[in-house]
Amino acid sequence: MVVPQPIFHQTLLPLLFCITTPSLVAANPTDGFTRLLLSNFNFQVQKPHDVPQNLHYSFSNGVHKFWVYSTDKPHTPSSDIVPRTEIRVTGYDYTSGVWQFEGYFYVPSGTSGTCIQQVFGGASSATTSQTRVYGGSLTHYQSPTLEQDIYGKWYRHNVIHDVGANNVKIFINGVKIFDGNGRGASSHYFKFGVYAQNGSSNYMESQWRDINIFRNNRD
């Protein structure tokens, strides 16, 4: 009589994996945080100033879709900043404490040279953190690389910003990928969408769903 083996292997191997690679087994990054209330009033869409919003942004079945072209105008007539279509999260600007952004993103093939999520505000630059896409790789600013071959897949994205410690942590699918310095004290807030960067593709798109903002319970 042959004793079935697959169940044994399926349960044993994950246990061995957890024992030998503990650094890849991360606690939920939202543990110890309080989720804050969000509504449509907290989502301010920024898009090229000379076109209707529905030509660059849509919201359907819980998914925010953003797109912009490298030839588009900036979001205000007086701005000389490169084009974007983003949501600026309002109502939760902060100058201290430990805050967290969470969302699930999707980037289609071909989108490149764009920022898809940022922590705005910094002493040495306009932002403290930017998550970008270059040629199918997810990066923090231009480097380091956070994840490769991201096109056409949904990813969970968590960014924790500790203002007092000047620290930024980024988690992809619950695993901490980045832990480094911020860019100094300022007034901060979160943004997500598409924002053209150096070497941008002609067309840039990202999709986002299940957006949450958290604050550390100790604050």
Considering its fold, how many domains does the chain have in total?
1
Q: How far apart (Å, rounded) are the C-alpha atoms in residues 206 and 186?
A: 27
φ, ψ (nearest 5 deg) of residue 32: 85, 5
pLDDT band for position 174 (50/70/90)? very high
Query: What sign does the dihedral 80-84-213-54 (CA atoms) show?
Result: positive
Cβ contact 73:196 at 8 Å: no
In a domain, 12, yes or no: no
Q: What is the CATH number of the domain that holds 54?
A: 2.60.120.200
User: Would you state the structure tokens that stand for residue 136, as one six-digit string?
Assistant: 């199918």
- Secondary structure of the chain in the HEC alphabet? CCCCCHHHHHHHHHHHHHHHCHHHCCCCCCCCEEECCCCHHHEEEECCCCCCHHHCEEEECCEEEEEEECCCCCCCCCCCCCCEEEEEECCCCECCCEEEEEEEEECCCCCCCEEEEEEECCCCCCEEEEEEEECCEEEECCCCEEECCCCCCEEEEEEEEECCCCEEEEEECCEEEEEEECCCCCCEEEEEEEEECCCCCCEEEEEEEEEEEEEECCC
Domain contains 14? no
For the segment 3-19, the average pLDDT, to the nearest whole number, is 37
Task: Evaluate whether residue 17 is within a structural domain.
Answer: no
Q: Is residue 2 part of a domain?
A: no
**Structural domain of 159:** 26-216
Q: Looking at residues 133-148, what average pLDDT do you find? A: 97
**pLDDT tens, position by position, 121-138:** 998 899 999 999 999 999
Residue 140 lies in a domain: yes
In a domain, 13, yes or no: no
Question: 46-50, 66-70, 183-187: which range is least confident on average?
Answer: 183-187
Residue 109 resides in a domain: yes
In the predicted model, what is the mean pLDDT of residues 45-51? 95
Q: Which residue carries 């993103």 as its tokens?
A: 105
Q: What pLDDT is recorded for position 17? A: 33
In a domain, 20, yes or no: no
Single pTM value for the model: 0.86
Tell me how far apart the alpha carbons of residues 62 and 204 are, in angstroms, rounded to a whole number: 20
